[in-house]
Structure 1
Amino acid sequence: MIKARVTITLKNGVLDPQGKAIEGALSALGFEGVDHVRQGKVFDLELEGTDKTKAEADLKAMCEKLLANTVIENYTISIA
């Protein structure tokens, strides 16, 4: 079994209203000096019956087809 983590973030230059809202909320809670907050998402997956090379190819296909909107998002894949 292969364990993997896919991290998806907005590309630079794409507006991030949720990140701005988090930044404002942190400031309102007294956390000073927090700036340029960007939000993203993380997927932890377990793949059975595959080797690392096939897992990487499958994960990339998953990101391209479903997990990430590649027009506005970047993704990284890490395999444990």
Structure 2
Amino acid sequence: MRPDPLEIQERWLPALRELGARGTSTPVLELAFAAWALPYERPVPALLREVGGAADLADDDALTTAVAERLPALRAGHIDI
């Protein structure tokens, strides 16, 4: 079952913000967001903007790159953390 955008807004985005502000890596959240984004044919920043309230994260190049870099492995059936 895929998380709905509201769950992402309420749980994932605040955690990404808080951990990012601390300089803490977020590989599990990056992987989770990449898995959620996998069926969509859009750039990661666009998906973050669509989730709502995530324009700041959409502009975070380190985060969007980390998520985007996980997509090819997921498409190939690999899960690496």
Q: With structure 2 as the length reference, what TM-score do the two structures score?
A: 0.29
Return the structure number with greater helix share.
2
Larger RCO of the pair (alpha carbons < 8 Å, separation 6+): 1
Q: Which has the higher strand share?
A: 1
User: Which structure's CA Rg is the greater one?
Assistant: 1
